[in-house]
Amino acid sequence: MPEPIRIFNGLFLPVSQSGCSELLFADMAAGKSGWLATVNVSILMTMRSSPDLQRFVDRAAWTVADGQPLVWASRWFGTPLPARVTGVDLVEDICARAESEGLGVYFLGASQPVLDALVATLQARYPRLRIGHANGYFSAADAPQRAAEVAASGASVLLVGMGVPRQEAFIEQYWSHLGVKVAIGVGGSFDVLAGLRKRAPSWVQAVGMEWFYRLVQEPGRLWRRYLVTNTQFVLLLLRALIVPRYRSR
């Protein structure tokens, strides 16, 4: 495994989108298991005030940068990441590879209508893929049963779309009961893959403004998160870049 690259309080694997799925399946074949953390700017900044989320990412078997600003920051610090690794594309890569290798994938999260649309879309795209699924609307008391259902499915990969930090808390708490080789929290990817929410055009992603595209679609839910975390990130970045230069004079 390549040496990770540090950006503030996160350690990221220097892998491309395709390289990430290749690494995951190679590690699974070699007997390695664990969870993968996809970290964007919002999550990285939230980790600084959330010991539970920071611990989850620190304990991850694999951590990748899901955000173009993190790729840019790594270049400024002289240790460049090759590319961002997005949750949406990673799900697609995993499904394609799992289908070819005869492995099962389990989807946990979202509402039942969203989940039904997601499964129908992916089953049409990957007809030989073994898919297990359950919605994300369950109580803490029902969580052990959900974990047992994942294990009973025989899936190798669990994809959890319940939002940060609920999906991370579920994966960490029930890891030893899930019976999978890899678990990944993928946030709102289910809505996008199901065709219920538009993804930013490729040029918007390339200029690092996908967060703004999402904000326009869901302003009531996302404006506070992005206002706070993006501002924190910019301030930290400026301090990291300016202060050392000032002190060296």
DSSP classification of residue 36:
E
Render 169-232 in DSSP notation, one character per residue.
HHHHHHHHHH--SEEEE-TTHHHHHTTSSPPPPHHHHHTT-HHHHHHHHSHHHHHHHHHHHHHH
pLDDT at residue 247 in the model: 44
Tokens of 247: 């002190």
pLDDT at residue 190 in the model: 96
Task: State which residues of the chain have pLDDT below 50.
Answer: 246-249
Contact (CB, 8 A) for 210 and 200:
yes
Contact (CB, 8 A) for 187 and 177:
no
CA angle at 198 for the pair 192 and 200, rounded to the nearest 5°: 105
pLDDT at residue 246 in the model: 46
Report the chain's terminal Cα–Cα distance, integer Å.
39
Amino acid at 86: T
pLDDT at residue 13 in the model: 98
How far apart are alpha carbons 175 and 183 in whole angstroms? 8
pLDDT at residue 248 in the model: 41
How big is the chain, counted in residues? 249
pLDDT at residue 76 in the model: 87
Dump pLDDT digits (tens) for 143-202: 999 999 999 999 999 999 999 999 999 999 999 999 999 999 999 899 999 988 766 567
pLDDT at residue 141 in the model: 98
pTM: 0.91
